[in-house]
Structure 1
Amino acid sequence: MSNHEHHDTAHQPVHRKEMTRRQFLAYTLGGTTAFLAAGPVLPMVRFAVDPILTKKTEGTYVKVVEESKITSEPQEFKFQIHQVDGWYESDPELAAWIAKDDQGNIFALSPICKHLGCTINWNTQKDNQYFCPCHEAKYTKEGKNLRVAPNPLDEYDLKLENGFIYLGPVKPNTKV
């Protein structure tokens, strides 16, 4: 390559690749479509993610009954809780079987059978046991499973305050 040829190539204008009309329209339509699609998608993503990111609060206790009304014979008490499930708020009515054990300690059992989730009753067969009428599961007064059910009845977290019984979340049975 001679000095003269090198000189000619150095002074030629730089040829830039220009965008065609078709490319311009494709980029413009693609960007507009992405922008418009983000409008409905972002609220849906936020709806799905926000409940996961919210801080979990400690289980709250609900005032159920006066301590003086509790006997050694289990009694059913109904109470309402306020729950928030994602964006849905509700106030379902729950029930608990509350009694005193042989040492005089108060405990509360969930009425949900551990076999298939039916509702149990106390002493319907005059044998001082909880009985599930659906599949004939039986439990002791403390919730120990005797027949059919694979696990004991769940227990409510319980605290006594100012002469009242407050129930919290359900936990595995600690009495049996």
Structure 2
Amino acid sequence: MNDHTNQEAQHGEKPVKRREMSRRQFLSYTLGGAGAFMGAGMIIPMIRFAVDPVLKPKTQAAWVKVVEESKITDEPKSFKFKVHQVDGWYESDPELEAWISKGKDGKIFALNPTCKHLGCTVNWNANPEYKDQYFCPCHGAHYTSDGKNLAVAPAPLDQYELKIENGFVYLGQLGPNKRV
């Protein structure tokens, strides 16, 4: 035995083996890391572009002037109005509809005519079988004048927030029916 192995045997230690990286491994790691960095640099803006509108907080609907207060009666009437909306990067001015009337308590309220069953449009007194009720022609759902669901539909008609200012009725955010 030589002196070196003798010394190892005496001290009980193994020599430290150094693993060296080959040139091929170094180039693979370097090119892989640079490629991943450049790929992330291209993908992160694309992900941000797609996700950014979803992360923005929703704004409350603006108040929209719909009709003069003097034109509102106990009988529900349909009124159409336009709202400005922004969906992501698409801006539009769709025409919406509301059934506005005075309740038994004398307060004015506005209902959305979208049936809660499958989304068809309901009409007031549209079916002679259901006098003084909203009726959905698609599947026979019907509602009271306050929007309470009587058959087929699982929930009452939605209600618009409403305010009266300077003799005009303004509609705001659409929400659940608070009358029933």
Pair in the same fold by TM > 0.5: yes
Residue 65 (structure 1) aligns with: 67
Residue 14 (structure 2) aligns with: none
Residue 51 (structure 1) aligns with: 53
Residue 21 (structure 1) aligns with: 23
Alpha-carbon distance between aligned partners in 2 of 1:145 and 1:109, rounded to the nearest angstrom: 13
Deviation, structure 1 residue 33: 1.1
Please give the per-residue CA displacement for 1:43-86, whole angstroms capped at 9, x wherever unaligned.
22212332243243233221111212111111111112222233
Residue 11 (structure 2) aligns with: none
Alpha-carbon distance between aligned partners in 2 of 1:58 and 1:152, rounded to the nearest angstrom: 22
Give the alignment partner of residue 143 of structure 2, picking from 129, 139, 142.
139
- Cα 1:86–1:105 change in 2 (3 A) is same
Deviation, structure 1 residue 88: 3.0
| Residue identity matched to 1:167 | L
Residue 8 (structure 1) aligns with: none
Residue 156 (structure 1) aligns with: 160
Please give the per-residue CA displacement for 1:73-121, whole angstroms capped at 9, x wherever unaligned.
1111111222223333332221100111123211000101111111001
| Residue identity matched to 1:124 | A
Deviation, structure 1 residue 162: 1.5
**Where does the alignment leave 5 or more consecutive residues of structure 2 unmatched?**
8-16
| Residue identity matched to 1:41 | I
- Cα 1:124–1:58 change in 2 (3 A) is closer
Say if 2:114 and 2:157, in contact at 8 Å, map to a contact too.
yes
**Where does the alignment leave 5 or more consecutive residues of structure 1 unmatched?**
6-14
| Residue identity matched to 2:147 | G
TM-score, structure 1 as length reference:
0.82
Residue 75 (structure 1) aligns with: 77
Say if 2:60 and 2:173, in contact at 8 Å, map to a contact too.
no
Alpha-carbon distance between aligned partners in 2 of 1:160 and 1:122, rounded to the nearest angstrom: 23
Alignment root-mean-square deviation, CA = 2.5
SS of equivalent residue, structure 1 residue 142: coil
**Displaced runs of 4 or more, over 6 A:** none
Moved more, 71-80 or 50-59: 50-59
| Residue identity matched to 1:142 | D
| Residue identity matched to 1:65 | V
The percentage of counterpart residues that share the same residue type is 66
